Amino acid sequence: MTQKTERRHQVRLSLYGELPVRFLDAEHLNEIFVTPVDITPQGLGLLVSPAPQPGESMIMQFLDESHPQILLRCCHSQAHQTGFVIPGMEALRRCGFVVVLKEAEDINLVQIFSGNDSVFIGE
């Protein structure tokens, strides 16, 4: 129920382009490939391969080190609709992530990414 509230309480903005970050799984530090889908001040909607399970975390590292790395927790992970199976990426999922740092309330992902030319955030 808590997770559900987390998912729904903020308006999501559409997000595309390339985020100036790389994602690593928190346990083995392997790179995770993503395609951005939407964003809220404290959350990201991403297509992820290989996808984590809800509750698992991943690290978001800024390529230019302009910000300290941010820990994100997967709050939902779902298979995409029928027919969306990419060859070689069978573990791909549409996932929602939220910022889990103690200072999460001070982080605003929308503001961080909206200043970047390679990222397009739309109402």
Please list the helix, strand and coil fractions of the chain in percent, rounded to the nearest 5, in that order. 15, 45, 40
- Whether residue 44 contacts residue 36, with contact meaning beta carbons closer than 8 Å, is answered with yes
Residues 29-58 that bind another protein (CB under 8 A): 33-35, 37-38, 41, 47, 49
Residues 78-97 that bind another protein (CB under 8 A): 80-89, 92
Query: Could you tell me how many residues of this chain bind another protein (CB under 8 A)?
Result: 39
Per-residue b/e over 55-65, b at no fewer than 16 CB within 10 Å? ebebbbeeeee
Q: Where on the chain is the footprint of another protein (CB under 8 A)?
A: 7-8, 11-14, 16-18, 33-35, 37-38, 41, 47, 49, 80-89, 92, 108, 110-111, 114-115, 117-118, 120-123
